[in-house]
Chain A
Amino acid sequence: MSWDRVAVVGAGMIKFGELFDQSYEQMAAGAFAQAIASVDNGLDAGEIQAGIVATQRGSLWGQEGVGGNTVSSAVGLSGVPFTRVENACPSGSDAFRIGAMVVASGVHHTVLVIGVEKMRDKSTAEGLLSRAAAGHPLYNRGETAPVLFAPFATRHMHELGTTPEMLASVAVKNHHNGCLDPYAHFQSDVTVDQVLASAPVCHPLRLLDCCPQTDGAAAVILTTPERARDLTDSPVYVSGFGVATDHPSLHEKSTYIGLPATTKAAGRAFEMSGLRPGDMDMAEVHDCFTITEILDIEDIGFVEKGKGGPASVEGQTAIDGRIPINPSGGLLAKGHPIGATGVAQICECYWQLREEAGERQVAVRHGHALQHNVGGRGSGVSVVNILSRDRAA
């Protein structure tokens, strides 16, 4: 099977970080401007017929009911159909998938997909850590974001022999890649020793095993393959996607050494595209924590279950490795402004396939890239998108 209905013709993002001096609206406008400017042969903003917005948690900046119209107004497209979608940490990737389906449906020919997240208008305690007081008063009480993945680390270590050093090697690699990415929140190296000595956050995860709380925005422009020909000589095509859900509580998991939502979502994307893990030149996967990247590369099928840690230590996932993972620096170094993350990963795949990634360019042999997120309540939602340099035959 293969799929051949949507092309990506523009991609842009702002530098991620603690952007105290930028409002949500200013970040959205910044990413939008970058995306528009990136279209090789130029694109009039008036061509955009619809927008799909990914913002996961408006309460992080004091806004509960954020709507698509916040962004349409901010980017100067008020009046245009804009819809906000939310699907936990994969919000950005799901916005992309939905945008692609809108174009494929024929209802709109040119669609903006934009992810925006303002996380640092609240303190750390009131921000993501406040998740510990949300949810069920007993069964979610104390469940901060690291709690979504730390129990998998505990079990992965117990059953498969993964070590804290293996987790740390993921942080070292991604921080190093971040040094090569001008958009990354962190642009400095760390060592294994520094990771192992960093403050305990949620056993067995330490501070440098965790992604930061970051502000950011990213946007891509989708259109039909026919229109894409006029806009650029090297569009990138959407060749497949998949979504899967799992139960929303950590006590309802069928396994603690993998995330079935990832495996199912990736399986659906591979089936839709007719591709396999071995066809990917690189992947941007969800590394909100070091353990998560190890789970991801196993669950997607890049390495066997249990081999994720050794693969990281051995350099298989480095930019020049067998299967480059998170050349952008990943969520660990680039940051994780939740709704923007998936869209920023698409940006990285776009640049990599067009061989515009500068010092962090991977070898493009097959012409395919995979983008993945997982998260949400019970780590129970995953979205995978696959992009290809060439149109499917």
Chain B
Amino acid sequence: MNDESKGPSRHQAVKPVGVLGVGVAAPSLRLATSEARAAWGEGGGRGKVAVCGADEDALTLAWEAAEEALAASGSTEVDGLWWGTSRPPFAEGPSHSFLSATLGIDPGGAGGLNSGSPHAGMEALASAWDAVAAGHARRALVVVSDALVPGLGTGSETSYGAGGAAIVLGPAAGAPAVLASRATRSAPVLDRYRADGAYATGDPYDPRLFREEVYLPLMSEVARGAAAGMAALGQADGDRREAATTPVSAWSLADPDGKLAAVLAKKLGTPVPLSAPVQSELGDTGAAAALLGLVGALAEAGTLGAAGYGGGRATAIGVQVDHPVPGADGCAGRLANGRAVGYLDAAKARGLVQAMTDPVPMGLPPGGAAFVRGNPEMLGLLGARCRSCSTISTPPSVHPTCIACGGSDLEEVPLARRGTVVTFVVNHTMPPPFVAPLPLLVLDLQDGARLMVQGTPSDAAFIAIGDPVHLVLRRYALERGVPVYGFKAVLDHATTDETPGDQTFRETAIRG
């Protein structure tokens, strides 16, 4: 196992924890790297990167991956939420409590937000792992997500991407897979970074310096450490598994430039990284990279590893998979439904290019009392069910009486997430900051509640009365810098627009 080590292969002594379910999420847009290069007069560029739409961000990706993982794990009850992202919606603010509210996490639960670099994903995983191993949490939800923003005209426009993954951790005994070893290494080096107050992340000063002095040494050291630690499996208390004698057979590796991971995998003597298909589809997913590239591979038995890097820190883990982990199977398919956009649309969606018009401000200030009253019911999608006639009135805080019978004996209930279209409109003429086409759909949900929510622009040309839909969390607005999240309706059948521009709508700009 300890082949050609180039330094001490220390690993932490850790108790194994079980992997009970996984989920992934990808944003809705894809940008061909050739488009990014052509925008600046350059040729070449292979592949694509994922870009968040104007209503998506690291939090909405986290929500989607987490919902998948919770469903796969067989229960939505967890003792805490551990979230790692280098781009939380608030640099300082209620990012974690907002995500927690959308997932219905116990408000007294454990966990927290790790940020500060793409290593935040591995840090969130390690913290949750420690909590479960210590017995402080029985089930832990780990979510990693990112939506990297490259500077306009920089090389990172061809590598930075976006995506999310989630893992439910629990007792090792009886779990289909266990996290079994872990190694970390830290070095005070500066590679790519985003200064306080800066909007975009910058390239490393010297890519070859980064490769030779930072990425390859740190990542190979922790990878070897984690691989060595797999041999300790079976000696932990209460674990009846046999010692793993197979070295880690394949790695999911953070890949900041789209090439480094292949070099590292070769150096470690393993084949093409597990993360290569995800990297090809989404690009560098920052804090999500190592785990997002791993979870799809948990569908088959084996001994696997994942290593993430960011801000001078590298962490690698070893995973023993005995049975397919619930949720792993569908991962690849869930990442593939992106819609191609051009360079300008991608820049607009990332917030790098904005129309120089005065947006119409939201009637309510997002920090005001109406939001404090409203956030739990908006983020949690709650309605008020009448105990007398069972009608659900939405939202609760503006319905002291039932809309059907006028009664005032109401209880808060979470609403169903699936429904059908009763009627709809598509706005084509909107003032800034709205983006047309903007569908609004009146839905009958499966629990009998009726709701009107926004739809997504890509569905606009396809909506029909009677269509089945499901609700997804999206960012409705970015109001004076504050994100406002809520649920939107997405058509159930595939609406991927393979040829942009085919749709029959057109936007009408309002001028004055």
**A200: CB under 8 A from chain B?**
yes
**B450 x A251 contact (CB < 8 A):** yes
**A66: CB under 8 A from chain B?**
no
List B contacts of A203 (CB < 8 A): 425-428, 437, 505
**B426 x A129 contact (CB < 8 A):** no
Q: Identify which of B364, B452, B477 contacts A251 (C-beta below 8 A).
A: B452
List B contacts of A392 (CB < 8 A): none
Give Cα A129 to B438, complex, Å.
13
**B425 x A137 contact (CB < 8 A):** no
Give Cα A247 to B406, complex, Å.
11
Give Cα A129 to B428, complex, Å.
12
**B279: CB under 8 A from chain A?**
no
Assuming A199-B428, A200-B506, A201-B429, is B364 touching A137 (CB within 8 A)?
Answer: yes
Fill in one digit per residue for B405-449: 1 if any A CB lies within 8 Å of its CB, else 0. 000000000000000001111111111101001101011000000
Q: Identify which of B394, B403, B454, B506 contacts A141 (C-beta below 8 A).
A: B454
**B510: CB under 8 A from chain A?**
yes
**B199: CB under 8 A from chain A?**
no
**A134: CB under 8 A from chain B?**
yes
**A306: CB under 8 A from chain B?**
no
- Identity of the chain B residue whose Cβ is nearest the Cβ of A153 in the assembled complex: B425
**B362: CB under 8 A from chain A?**
yes
- Identity of the chain B residue whose Cβ is nearest the Cβ of A134 in the assembled complex: B363
- Shortest B503–chain A CB gap in Å is 12
**A202 x B423 contact (CB < 8 A):** no
**A202 x B427 contact (CB < 8 A):** yes
**B432 x A202 contact (CB < 8 A):** no
Q: What number of A residues sit within 8 Å (CB to CB) of B?
A: 39
**A163: CB under 8 A from chain B?**
no
- Shortest B425–chain A CB gap in Å is 4
Q: Identify which of B360, B403, B438, B452 contacts A133 (C-beta below 8 A).
A: B360
**B431 x A143 contact (CB < 8 A):** no
Assuming A125-B432, A134-B363, A256-B442, is B505 touching A147 (CB within 8 A)?
Answer: no
List A contacts of B423 (CB < 8 A): 151-152, 154-155, 158, 256
Total contacts A-B at CB 8 Å: 137
Q: List A residues 238-254 near B (Cβ within 8 Å).
A: 247, 249-253
Q: List A residues 106-146 near B (Cβ within 8 Å).
A: 123-126, 129-130, 132-139, 141-144, 146
- Shortest A377–chain B CB gap in Å is 11
**B486 x A137 contact (CB < 8 A):** yes
Q: List B residues 20-69 near A (Cβ within 8 Å).
A: none
**A220: CB under 8 A from chain B?**
no
Assuming A154-B465, A158-B465, A252-B403, is B477 touching A144 (CB within 8 A)?
Answer: no
Assuming A125-B510, A137-B486, is B452 touching A130 (CB within 8 A)?
Answer: no
List A contacts of B443 (CB < 8 A): 251
**A142 x B434 contact (CB < 8 A):** yes
**B476 x A137 contact (CB < 8 A):** yes
Q: Identify which of A152, A201, A251, A253 contacts B428 (C-beta below 8 A).
A: A201
Which interface class (under 10, 10 to 19, 20 to 34, 35 or more) fits B?
A: 35 or more
Fill in one digit per residue for B254-280: 1 if any A CB lies within 8 Å of its CB, else 0. 000000000000000000000000000
Give Cα A135 to B506, complex, Å.
27
**A318: CB under 8 A from chain B?**
no
Q: Identify which of A126, A130, A137, A142 contacts B371 (C-beta below 8 A).
A: A137
Q: Identify which of B360, B438, B465, B486 contacts A125 (C-beta below 8 A).
A: B360
List A contacts of B364 (CB < 8 A): 137
List A contacts of B432 (CB < 8 A): 125
List B contacts of A200 (CB < 8 A): 426, 428-429, 505-506, 508
**A133 x B394 contact (CB < 8 A):** no
- Identity of the chain B residue whose Cβ is nearest the Cβ of A128 in the assembled complex: B431
List A contacts of B510 (CB < 8 A): 124-125, 129
List B contacts of A129 (CB < 8 A): 360, 429-431, 510
- Shortest B72–chain A CB gap in Å is 28
- Shortest A193–chain B CB gap in Å is 18
- Shortest B364–chain A CB gap in Å is 6
**A150: CB under 8 A from chain B?**
yes
- Shortest B511–chain A CB gap in Å is 8
**A142 x B427 contact (CB < 8 A):** yes
- Identity of the chain A residue whose Cβ is nearest the Cβ of B454 in the assembled complex: A142
- Shortest A391–chain B CB gap in Å is 40
**A139 x B430 contact (CB < 8 A):** no
**B429 x A199 contact (CB < 8 A):** yes
Q: List A residues 174-205 near B (Cβ within 8 Å).
A: 199-204
**B427 x A135 contact (CB < 8 A):** no
Q: Identify which of A139, A154, A155, A199 contacts B452 (C-beta below 8 A).
A: A139
**A147 x B378 contact (CB < 8 A):** no
- Shortest A253–chain B CB gap in Å is 8
List B contacts of A204 (CB < 8 A): 425
**B151: CB under 8 A from chain A?**
no
Fill in one digit per residue for B354-393: 1 if any A CB lies within 8 Å of its CB, else 0. 0001001111101000110010001000000000000001
- Shortest A286–chain B CB gap in Å is 19
**A155 x B465 contact (CB < 8 A):** yes
Q: Identify which of B378, B394, B430, B440 contacts A137 (C-beta below 8 A).
A: B378
Q: List A residues 220-251 near B (Cβ within 8 Å).
A: 247, 249-251
**A142 x B430 contact (CB < 8 A):** yes
List A contacts of B422 (CB < 8 A): 155, 256
**B361 x A133 contact (CB < 8 A):** yes
Assuming A138-B453, A141-B477, is B378 touching A125 (CB within 8 A)?
Answer: no
- Shortest B502–chain A CB gap in Å is 16
Q: List A residues 335-364 near B (Cβ within 8 Å).
A: none
- Shortest A209–chain B CB gap in Å is 12
Q: List B residues 459-481 near A (Cβ within 8 Å).
A: 465, 476-477, 479
List B contacts of A251 (CB < 8 A): 394, 442-443, 450-452
**A137 x B362 contact (CB < 8 A):** yes
**A150 x B425 contact (CB < 8 A):** yes
**B333: CB under 8 A from chain A?**
no
- Shortest A150–chain B CB gap in Å is 4
Assuming A137-B374, A147-B427, A200-B506, is B363 touching A250 (CB within 8 A)?
Answer: no
List B contacts of A151 (CB < 8 A): 423-425, 440, 442
**A139 x B453 contact (CB < 8 A):** yes
**B428 x A143 contact (CB < 8 A):** no
List B contacts of A139 (CB < 8 A): 394-395, 451-453
Give Cα A152 to B440, complex, Å.
13
- Shortest A323–chain B CB gap in Å is 28
**B431 x A135 contact (CB < 8 A):** no
List A contacts of B477 (CB < 8 A): 137, 141
Give Cα A204 to B465, complex, Å.
13
List A contacts of B108 (CB < 8 A): none
Give Cα A323 to B320, complex, Å.
80
Assuming A138-B484, A251-B452, is B424 touching A124 (CB within 8 A)?
Answer: no
- Identity of the chain B residue whose Cβ is nearest the Cβ of A207 in the assembled complex: B429
- Shortest B372–chain A CB gap in Å is 12
List A contacts of B428 (CB < 8 A): 199-203
**B394 x A126 contact (CB < 8 A):** no
**A123 x B512 contact (CB < 8 A):** yes
Give Cα A136 to B506, complex, Å.
27
Q: Identify which of B371, B431, B479 contacts A132 (C-beta below 8 A).
A: B431
Give Cα A141 to B374, complex, Å.
14
List B contacts of A252 (CB < 8 A): 393, 403, 450
29 interchain pairs, CB-CB under 8 A: A124-B510, A129-B360, A129-B430, A129-B510, A130-B360, A130-B431, A132-B427, A132-B431, A133-B360, A135-B363, A138-B378, A141-B477, A142-B434, A142-B438, A144-B429, A150-B425, A154-B424, A154-B465, A155-B422, A155-B465, A203-B437, A203-B505, A204-B425, A250-B442, A250-B452, A251-B394, A251-B442, A252-B393, A256-B422
9 nearest A-B pairs in the assembled complex, by CB-CB distance: A125-B431, A138-B486, A134-B363, A203-B426, A150-B425, A251-B452, A200-B428, A151-B423, A155-B423
Given A125-B432, A250-B442, A251-B452, 14 additional A-B pairs, CB 8 A: A125-B360, A126-B431, A129-B360, A137-B363, A137-B370, A137-B378, A138-B378, A139-B453, A142-B454, A151-B442, A158-B465, A201-B427, A202-B425, A251-B450
